[in-house]
């Protein structure tokens, strides 16, 4: 998929305390300068992001997340295109991440979904009407973005969503 842009200052906040559990964090006074402190912060963010991806139940073999500033590089292997897109969205819809360099390998490639950036005033029904011509198909978008979305009414401006092709009697269009 390559490089995907996101809105940097919106999204899920990482719980860096969970990422540090079991690891002995160095006090800031022991850090050998600002560069080392920045690298330590990035490693903590990487660990927290890997933890979130795993907690969401995604099965990514050899998962690696490397963060450099506001860019995240995601590597590993997944079974489906859908899972790939969801991992990328979860990564990019994290506060502080502006770009995701997707290097995930897919075992069973298929057509890619579209992405949509939520605007102020959007609802899943409004987005479904725009893409599918039917506001009642909002649940397709909701399901395509689970488990990141827990409630169909809880989307926010700047969030990026997956918009899958419509399905009719099991056939994707």
**CATH code of the domain covering residue 69:** 1.10.287
Residue 80: the pLDDT is: 94
Residue 33 DSSP code: S
Residue 162 lies in a domain: yes
Q: Which residues have a Cβ under 8 Å from the Cβ of 142 and sit 6 or more positions away?
A: 124, 149, 152
Distance CA 154, CA 151 (A): 5
Percent of the chain exceeding pLDDT 70 equals: 84
Domain boundary (60, 80, 108) is at 108
Per-residue model confidence (pLDDT) at position 167: 53
Query: Residue 28 — very low, low, confident or very high, per pLDDT cuts 50/70/90?
Result: very low
133: region left, alpha or beta (phi > 0 left; psi from -120 to 50 alpha): left
Number of domains forming the structure of the chain = 2
pTM of the model: 0.80
The reply to whether 13 and 96 lie within a common domain is yes
**Same structural domain for residues 63 and 9?**
yes
30 pLDDT above the threshold of 90: no
96-107 confidence digits (pLDDT tens):
999 999 999 999
**Range of 99's domain?**
2-19+32-108
Report CA-CA distances (Å) from 160 to 25, 83, 84, 98, 139.
33, 15, 14, 11, 16
Name the pairing type of β-strands 99-108 and 71-80.
parallel
For the chain, the average pLDDT equals: 85
């Amino acid at each position: 998929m390559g490089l995907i842009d996101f809105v940097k200052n919106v999204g899920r906040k990482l719980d860096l305390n969970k990422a540090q559990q079991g690891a002995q964090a160095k006090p800031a006074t022991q850090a050998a300068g600002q560069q080392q402190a920045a690298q330590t912060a990035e490693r903590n963010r990487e660990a927290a992001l890997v933890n979130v991806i795993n907690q969401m139940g995604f099965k990514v073999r050899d998962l690696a997340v490397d963060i450099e500033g506001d860019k995240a590089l995601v590597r590993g292997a997944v079974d489906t295109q859908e899972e790939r897109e969801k991992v990328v969205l979860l990564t990019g819809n994290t506060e502080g991440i502006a770009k995701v360099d997707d290097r995930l390998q897919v075992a069973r490639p298929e057509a890619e979904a579209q992405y949509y950036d939520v605007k102020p005033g959007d609802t899943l029904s409004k987005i479904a009407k725009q893409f599918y011509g039917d506001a009642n198909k909002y649940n397709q978008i909701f399901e395509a973005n689970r488990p990141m979305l827990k409630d169909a009414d809880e989307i926010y401006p700047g969030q990026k969503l997956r918009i899958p092709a419509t399905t009719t009697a099991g056939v994707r269009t």
